[in-house]
Amino acid sequence: MYQIGDHVVYNSVGVCRIVDICCRDFGEGSDSEYFVLETVYGHSMTVYIPTDNYEDSLRPLLTREELLSLIQTLPDIDEEWIADNSTRKEFFQHAILSRDQSEIIRMIKLLYARREELKDKGKRLPFSDAEAMKEAEKLLTNEFAFVLGIEPDEVVPFILEQLSQGSK
């Protein structure tokens, strides 16, 4: 079980710090124990997660070594664009809800490749794809930034640098 002061990833919110563990009654008629989370990046938010049912919504942060290993897998990821909108949307939702950074990074790489392909034709990503990419990037950059001790806007340059060093 997590402790006060631990940092975790909460579903689609991103990196949070556990600031308290308390008992509250949110209308169920009895007190239940909750983790009290505060977001680390973005809009300040406080979230209460039941301590007896947190496994599906919280996960530990990846380690620096795990993140660096994940970056090194990027060149090996070869995804084909999913032409069917509903199938693609389902894939993106699954990737984000899975909270699995390898799935999220696959999704981002797929969207980046598609965006570049469309840009060459003078077009842009459809709104739903662009929004999915923003959501995935937020999840990825927040965790990478926190674990690596850099700012979120430094994550993509860091990844590119790691990739260029790995290819030498």
The Cα-based distances of 42 to 3, 13, 63, 99, 121 in angstroms read 23, 9, 22, 18, 34
Q: Give the pLDDT confidence score for residue 119 in this predicted structure.
A: 93
Structural domains present in the chain: 7-60 (2.40.10), 64-166 (1.20.58.1290)
Q: Give the pLDDT confidence score for residue 121 in this predicted structure.
A: 95
Q: Give the pLDDT confidence score for residue 159 in this predicted structure.
A: 85
Instruction: For residue 14, give both structure tokens.
Output: 């991103």
User: Model-level pTM?
Assistant: 0.79
Q: Give the pLDDT confidence score for residue 30 in this predicted structure.
A: 84
Q: Give the pLDDT confidence score for residue 166 in this predicted structure.
A: 62
Residue type, 126: P
Mean pLDDT by 10 residues, the chain (168 residues): 94 90 87 94 90 90 93 82 92 86 86 91 95 88 94 88 70
